[in-house]
Amino acid sequence: MATQSVIHSVQQQKSAVVVSIPNQSPQQITQTELVLYLSLCARLKQLETQVEAKEAELKARLEAGVSVERGDHFAELKESFRRTVAWKSVAADLANTVFGEGKGLTYCEEVLASTEPSRIVGLNVE
């Protein structure tokens, strides 16, 4: 009997799970399958929470100046600064209305230049 393979990748994972599905009429979905699915979803949420907690802990320790043991893997902080003006297009339209056509972008550039950049720190582990 011919089968088709379905590949399901979990986000941010390098491995894939391959499930063989027979090419025949669909079978009834069992309660056991639904319980397994719900259990896997709950486990995924639990793992995501644990990953977020460990990431926060590692970031805090690296920010405090703790060194990383030598070996196959490394951990570092990636720091960037960003000036985010989510309302830029609305402000430009308003400035065009108030100050005259064509003045909106100049106004937004002035506001952006006077905006304090936000610090963003990411964790890079390889």
Q: Using one digit for the tens of pLDDT, what is the confidence trace for 15-45?
A: 566 666 666 778 999 999 999 999 999 999 9
Residue with tokens 């108030």: 98
Query: pLDDT: is 1 or 65 the higher one?
Result: 65
Measured CA distances, 79 to 35, 47, 57, 71 (Å) = 42, 26, 16, 23
pLDDT at 93: 82
pTM of the model: 0.55
